[in-house]
Amino acid sequence: MALNTMTDDSAFANERVVALAGGVGGAKLADGLARVLPPGALTVIVNTGDDFTHYGLHVSPDLDTVMYTLAGIAHPVNGWGLADDTRQMIEMMKRYGDEAWFGLGDRDLATNLLRTHALANGWSLSQITHDLASRLGVTSHLLPMSDMSVATNVDTIEMGILKFQEYFVRHRWQPVVKRVLYEGAESAYPAPGVKEALETATMIVICPSNPVLSVEPILRVQGMRAALEARTVPCVVVSPIVAGAALKGPAAKLMAELDLEPSVIGIADYYGRLIDGIVIDNEDSASSQHIKQPSLASNIVMREVTDRVRVAREVLAWNKELMR
């Protein structure tokens, strides 16, 4: 199925959209959605299974990637971190003999300091997230999946159980993963506003994020999978895999290691009944006949901001189609 790109966004004026997102890919689509929808109409529920404590700082990589992207200040090449950031603190850590394997930027430290300080003073993660995002001019609702601690750990053949950032950054996702653990997820409650956003949404979008590492932690939070299964509005996923390769990161490699098919078919199967459709790349259009759910083929590689806006429009328009 093909669809003309819409340019009149008034068609979406009454939508209330919930997007589930991980890091860079998720942030890009969330940014497109935020640009197309009226202010406040988008709620992004962000994975916090990657959160960890480093140098005593509470680091929330995915939350910050989405926040910086929505604020228009993300690093234009990396996708994560801040534009024009430097690594002076990290250089000094090395002077102290520290390995300094996690590249916290200097500007990024302001975010981590404000968040850590607020949490130490009794604020919740969702409160400080709202505060920081507002101060940066973000008008979409940015919600951590939970205010409680959930830790995504990976059990690897070479190194045993690794914390997510150890696996992802320190070891550059090279170890072979046997299974993924979501510590604390089943006892974690969704953050305030998460359930309400899902209940009042007119459509749900699962962003092109790693299904196992970025979206699954959100689904594992208490009641989240059930809430999605009980939805009365359509939910579509945008594939993070194009032509058998991840657009970024270890999605394809990891899926293969876990005996999941590293393709748009595998992505659609992974979500199963949770989605009413999948948006795939034109390169994968031949696979659509093997996908159980409805699919929409488009150019889903988001290189420029215009791509984000275009894909967002296509996703929203298609979602409206599915609603009927």
Residues that bind a second copy (CB under 8 A): 55-57, 73, 82, 85-86, 88-93, 95-98, 105-111, 113-114, 116-117, 120, 132, 135-136
**Nearer residue to a second copy within complex by CB, 126 or 152:** 126
With residue 15 as reference, give the H or E element that holds it: none
Q: Which is nearer to a second copy, 39 or 97 (CB)?
A: 97
Distance CA 245, CA 21 (A): 19
Q: How many helices (H) and strands (E) does the chain have?
A: 12, 14
User: In angstroms, rounded to a whole number, what is the distance separating the alpha carbons of residues 13 and 36?
Assistant: 9
Pick the closer one to a second copy by CB: 6 or 73: 73
**How much is the CA Rg of the chain, to the nearest whole Å?**
19
CB of 57 to a second copy, least distance (A): 7
Query: Based on CB atoms, which residue is closest to a second copy, 64 or 257?
Result: 64
- Kindly state the smallest distance separating residue 298's Cβ from a second copy, in Å: 35
What's the min distance (Å) between Cβ of 186 and a second copy?
A: 29
Parallel, antiparallel, or unpaired: how do β-strands 42-46 and 141-144 relate?
parallel
- Report residue 195 as tokens: 């359930």
In this complex, which beta carbon is closest to a second copy, that of residue 89 or of residue 305?
89
Q: Edge-to-edge strand order for the sheet containing 151-156?
A: 160-163, 151-156, 177-183
Least separation in angstroms between residue 102's CB and a second copy is 12
For residue 60, give both structure tokens.
């929330």
According to DSSP, the β-strands at 160-163 and 151-156 are antiparallel
β-partners of residue 153 are: 163, 181
Give whichever of 41 and 63 is closer to a second copy, judged by the CB atom: 63
| DSSP class of 54 | E
Indicate the pairing of strand 57-59 with strand 52-54: antiparallel
Residue with tokens 């340019």: 7
Token duo for residue 86: 């430097």
Nearest to 315 by CA among 323, 116, 61, 229: 323
Of 118 and 254, which has the nearer Cβ to a second copy? 118
Quote the least distance from Cβ 110 to a second copy, whole Å.
Answer: 4
For the CB of residue 105, give the shortest distance to a second copy in the complex, in Å: 8
Least distance in angstroms from the C-beta of 70 to a second copy: 14
